[in-house]
Chains A and B, each alone.
Chain A
Amino acid sequence: QVQLVESGGGVVQPGRSLRLSCAASGFTFSSYGMHWVRQAPGKGLEWVAVIWYDGSNKYYADSVKGRFTISRDNSKNTLYLQMNSLRAEDTAVYYCAREGWGTGYCSGGSCYSKGYYFDYWGQGTLVTVSS
Chain B
Amino acid sequence: EIVLTQSPATLSLSPGERATLSCRASQSVSSYLAWYQQKPGQAPRLLIYDASNRATGIPARFSGSGSGTDFTLTISSLEPEDFAVYYCQQRSNWPRYTFGQGTKLEIK
Contacts and interface: CB of A to CB of B under 8 A. Distances in A.
Interface in A75-131: 95, 100, 102, 115-124
A44 interface: yes
Secondary structure class of chain A's binding surface, majority of residues: strand
Interface string A5-26: 0000000000000000000000
Contacts of A95: 43-44
Interface residues on B, range: 20 to 34
Contacts, number: 59
Interface residues on A, range: 20 to 34
A116 B99 contact: no
Interface stretch (B15-23, B65-73, B76-84, B87-95): B87-95
Contacts of B62: none
B43 A59 contact: no
Contacts of B89: 45, 117-118
Interface in B7-33: 32
A116 B46 contact: no
A46 interface: yes
Nearest to B56: A119
13 contacts: A47-B99, A50-B95, A57-B95, A61-B96, A115-B49, A116-B97, A117-B49, A118-B34, A118-B46, A118-B89, A119-B46, A119-B55, A123-B42
